[in-house]
Amino acid sequence: ANSRAYSLVDSSQVSTFLISILLIVYGSFRSLNMDFENQDKEKDNSSAAGSFNGNSTNNSIQTIDSTQALFLPIGASVSLLVMFFFFDSVQVVFTICTAVLATIAFAFLLLPMCQYLTRPCSPQNKISFGCCGRFTAAELLSFSLSVMLVLIWVLTGHWLLMDALAMGLCVAMIAFVRLPSLKVSCLLLSGLLIYDVFWVFFSAYIFNSNVMVKVATQPADNPLDVLSRKLHLGPNVGRDVPRLSLPGKLVFPSSTGSHFSMLGIGDIVMPGLLLCFVLRYDNYKKQANSDSCGAPGPGNISGRMQKVSYFHCTLIGYFVGLLTATVASRIHRAAQPALLYLVPFTLLPLLTMAYLKGDLRRMWSEPFHSKSSSSRFLEV
């Protein structure tokens, strides 16, 4: 959800638009690249082990099924209530867990840059760290930089460092989580739309406070300050560190510095998962058409319509949805559930285009199932 300060269309909103779209595009292409790499490894394993087909390359990828899609909004609601009622009790644990996850996610975000930097200097051999595993020089460099950034964020609490960590979380979640079909996508996004609308618009009638906004904007005690008080290190040790605004959102200051624009990472990740799904389907369909010697689409659909990709259509819908949410927050001058606008503007154009192209039945259930074993695309 957007914060109460998210009411003016200025440079902060423009920054939010651009960064969220770049994160979705980058995360989607990282996800697609991971699919290609995993399939290449599976082909190498198959050729080395005969008919054995290992699945170890897919262990890090989580596919959401229908049951998980239905219960995810319920789990999110329970977590929101825990944070609302018991924030003072769990804030330190939640801050530490968030920092650890943000460290790993930001290391993943930095990994391509570190691979580019270390490639001319050292071979890509993995270095063993005993029970911790084996890592390349690029992985060690990206992790070290990520740890350094998290430590600086804990010491300073600067919004720009928090944004960097939130960006890493967005990209990692889009890259490592999969929606297997349009059916699961509709279940997940529809449930989260109801979740977002209820906790932004109706929670105040039950809890006498906007639960979503309060949890999203409430700062947490700095773990260094808590540690100094627990260990009785003295009145001046750890007391200068600021309270932390947790990286569950992107914030950008306005040009005047009078307010911040805010967008929750859920409003980026959840539509981003849909965009990642349609990008994979676009590439799957392109490969299938090339394998079938460029078979044309349905005769009642123009060639221009066939050339429009689902990814571009959905991405434009996401931008229009963000713009509509901004205009609505300006008109009502109150917090708006962004998914109320993002879900219809992404799902409805996608469903319409899939119906017109004749792909709706295929995309609805098992769209990546292929009888051909030579396909370059994974079955996910």
Q: pLDDT tens track of the chain, all 380 residues?
A: 444 333 445 667 778 888 999 999 999 999 989 888 877 777 766 665 544 343 444 567 899 999 999 999 999 999 999 999 988 888 888 888 999 999 999 999 999 999 888 876 666 677 777 777 788 888 899 999 999 999 999 989 888 999 999 999 999 999 999 999 999 999 999 999 999 999 999 998 999 888 998 898 888 888 888 777 776 665 555 567 888 888 888 888 876 666 677 888 999 999 999 999 999 999 988 888 776 654 445 544 556 666 778 999 999 999 999 989 888 887 877 778 899 999 999 999 999 999 988 889 999 987 876 544 344 444 43
Q: Given this model, what pLDDT does residue 6 score?
A: 39
Q: Given this model, what pLDDT does residue 180 score?
A: 93
Cα(306)–Cα(315) distance, integer angstroms: 17
Sign of the CA dihedral running 60, 66, 69, 74: negative
DSSP 123: -
CB 243 within 8 A of CB 222: yes
Q: Is residue 366 part of a domain?
A: no
Q: Please, how many CA atoms are within 13 Å of residue 135, restricted to the half-sphere of its CB? A: 17
Cα(222)–Cα(214) distance, integer angstroms: 18
The β-bridge relationship of strands 249-253 and 260-264 is: antiparallel
Total domains, the chain = 1
Q: Given this model, what pLDDT does residue 123 score?
A: 61
- The continuous run of DSSP H or E covering 122 comes out as none
Q: Is residue 247 part of a domain?
A: yes
Tokens matching residue 226: 């808590």
Cα(212)–Cα(196) distance, integer angstroms: 8
Q: Which domain holds residue 87?
A: 8-42+60-121+131-261
Q: Is residue 80 part of a domain?
A: yes
Catalogue the active-site residues: 196, 267
What type of residue is 343? V
Tokens matching residue 90: 């769990």
Q: Is residue 323 part of a domain?
A: no
Cα(350)–Cα(315) distance, integer angstroms: 10
Contacts of 88 (CB under 8 A, 6+ apart): none
Angle, vertex CA 134, rays to CA 132 and CA 139, nearest 5 = 100
DSSP 244: B
Cα(248)–Cα(166) distance, integer angstroms: 6
CB 157 within 8 A of CB 247: no
Q: Is residue 78 part of a domain?
A: yes
Q: Given this model, what pLDDT does residue 315 score?
A: 94
Q: Is residue 90 part of a domain?
A: yes
Buried b (16+ CB within 10 A) or exposed e, 33-51: ebbeebbeebeebeeeeee
Q: Is residue 335 part of a domain?
A: no
Compute how many other C-beta atoms are within 10 angstroms of the C-beta atom of residue 179.
Answer: 25
Q: Given this model, what pLDDT does residue 38 score?
A: 77
pTM of the model: 0.85
In three state form, how does the secondary structure of 185-238 look? HHHHHHHHHHHHHHHHHHHHHHHCCCHHHHHHHCCECCHHHHHHHHCCCCCCCC
Q: Is residue 152 part of a domain?
A: yes
Q: Given this model, what pLDDT does residue 235 score?
A: 59
